[in-house]
Homo-oligomer: A and B are copies of this chain.
């Protein structure tokens, strides 16, 4: 039973970090910011149908706290804020793309599996 695998053991720390990044909106926010580099609050909001101000705010705050994005005050008098993808957030881009690619490729298969499961169950 003694395997010498170099796969990292997933600890509470890792789980916590993943929880912070893989929640309902963070992935999409990061996706948009990776695409565009930087976006304004309301630009971001408009590009994410269904999100509320509050959800966007807390999502951005959390991402900022984890060093994934940077909040840059562009202008003072008319309050203008830009959210930029941070270097460490940039490193997520490939992962996010891979995730999106995977879902796109496998969505049909998953839906078939669901149909089979639901049919068998009822």
Task: Show the binding face of A for B, using Cβ within 8 Å.
Answer: 5, 7-8, 10, 13-15, 17-19, 22, 24, 27-28, 31, 35, 64-67, 88, 91-92, 95, 97-104, 106-107, 109-110, 112-114, 116-118
Contacts and interface: CB of A to CB of B under 8 A. Distances in A.
A13 to B, nearest CB: 6
A67 B103 contact: no
B104 A14 contact: yes
A19 B99 CA distance: 12
Contact of A10 (B17, B28, B88, B113): B28
Contact of A18 (B13, B27, B112): B27
A113 to B, nearest CB: 3
B7 A103 contact: no
